[in-house]
Amino acid sequence: MADATWPSVEAKPIPKPSTMEIMRTDLFEHPAVKAWSELLPGRVEPESIEILKEHRKSAVYRLTGVGPGGSAVIAKRCRMATALIERTIYEEILPHLPITALHYYGFTQEDDEFCWLFLEDAGREQFSPLLEEHRTLAARWLARMHTSAAHVAAAARLPDRGPDHYLEHLRSGRHTILSNLTNSALTADDLAILETIISLCDTLELRWSRVEEECEGLPSTLVHGDFQPKNVHVRVSRAGTGLFPIDWETAGWGIAAADLAPAAGHVSTPQVDIALYGSMVRECWPGLDLQAIQRLVTVGGLFRRLAAVHWASRGLAYEYVEEPMACMRIYLAELSETNLAAKWTK
């Protein structure tokens, strides 16, 4: 069972498109560089700092030239709750698994609420489910992670990522939508979409026992939880082509469903070669036949879309709702399609 004392992780906001900003002056005074210098004392000034993400509660920077051999280092500022999960994974779990993983340089605490994680730069090539080679890489990587992490004690102590976790996403997303229906920026068409999502969530909650039945008997293990192109990098080296997932803050202990399903907004694009994945995991889990794996994919599709609705619902509180509503339209269509195929609300 997962440890119920873990802090909850704040739901993700919808990412905003941004132009890459590069800083080249007064770099030693930057908070990321100061935090990095705590791990490596002395004046360690990067050649430049690339701002990969910068929000009030989280930020990611690329510090060029400060790593081994002049390599870049990724500095990630995040809440302690997020860092606790990622730090455990990088320090206590990934080093024991037969998979490619980023080198973890360390952790520094900024204050009681925020901290910094420092990681090897994953590079700039992102995973693409449109490429057969990448789907094969994903199948092999996930199969090795899922089967080997099932026996690592630290993984079993991670937060629960089973059906109860996604039921909470359903409830939180619905509550946030209901709280923002009075937003004057919402059109009549927007309200109709949101009310349909609320109705679907109501029915799914009433029939949630059917979802739980689909999960019974399936093995639990470490799950990434947000395995999708923006969180997975691909690197080619002399040793071959390797997969390097990042952003483990939604990771935890549960069935492999969410990792195998297509990302929200991409329901028609499989991310994993399921046949290959099945042939590999059956060496450890002989009872996980192709039908059971397809159950995982279907359940994972539901899980991912309920989480996505929750994350998108946070954007409904603001004056400009075009982006979250565009997402909601997609997620409603995918939720309806997934529900129709599985017949959970019939």
Which tokens hold the place of 29? 């005074």
Read off the pLDDT of residues 247-257 as tens digits, 9 standing for 90 and up.
999 999 999 99
Phi, psi at 342, each rounded to 5° = -90, -20
What's the pLDDT at 27? 87
Region of 265 please: left (phi>0), alpha (psi -120 to 50) or beta: left
Residue 340 clears pLDDT 80, i.e. is over it? no
Strands (E), the chain: 21-23, 48-54, 59-64, 73-79, 104-109, 114-120, 221-223, 232-237, 240-245, 252-254
What's the pLDDT at 42? 64
Residues comprising the chain, all counted: 346
What's the pLDDT at 15? 46
Residue 43 clears pLDDT 80, i.e. is over it? no
What's the pLDDT at 245? 97
Domain ranges (residues) in the chain: 21-120, 132-342
The larger pLDDT score, comparing residue 93 to residue 28, is at: 93
What's the pLDDT at 341? 67
The larger pLDDT score, comparing residue 23 to residue 109, is at: 109
What's the pLDDT at 225? 96
Local confidence band at 2 (pLDDT 50, 70, 90 cut-offs): very low
DSSP per residue over 151-217, as a string? T-HHHHTSPB-SHHHHHHHHHHHHHHHHHTTT-TT--HHHHHHHHHHHHHHHHHHHTHHHHHHHHTT
**CATH topology agreement for domains 21-120 and 132-342:** no
What's the pLDDT at 122? 92
CATH superfamily of 132-342: Aminoglycoside phosphotransferase (APH), C-terminal lobe (3.90.1200.10)
Residue 344 clears pLDDT 70, i.e. is over it? no
Residue 92 clears pLDDT 80, i.e. is over it? yes
The answer to pTM > 0.85 is yes
Which among 56, 44, 21 is positioned nearest to 118, based on CA atoms? 44
Local confidence band at 6 (pLDDT 50, 70, 90 cut-offs): low
Read off the pLDDT of residues 164-187 as tens digits, 9 standing for 90 and up.
999 999 999 999 999 999 999 999
Domain 21-120: give its CATH code: 3.30.200.20
Instruction: Compute the distance between CA of residue 146 and CA of residue 225 in angstroms, rounded to an integer.
Output: 12
Q: Which of 5-9, 71-75, 135-139, 218-222 has the lowest mean pLDDT?
A: 5-9
Residue 191 clears pLDDT 70, i.e. is over it? yes
Percentage of the chain beyond pLDDT 70 is 91
Residue 7 clears pLDDT 70, i.e. is over it? no
CA-to-CA dists, residue 330 to 17, 140, 325, angstroms: 18, 30, 9
Which among 196, 311, 218 is positioned nearest to 264, based on CA atoms? 311
Read off the pLDDT of residues 273-323 as tens digits, 9 standing for 90 and up.
999 999 999 999 999 999 999 999 999 999 999 999 999 999 999 999 999
Residue 228 clears pLDDT 50, i.e. is over it? yes
Q: Name the average pLDDT for the chain.
A: 90
Handedness of CA 306, 301, 122, 159 (dihedral sign): positive
Helix, strand, or coil (residue 6): coil
Which among 248, 249, 256 is positioned nearest to 299, based on CA atoms? 256
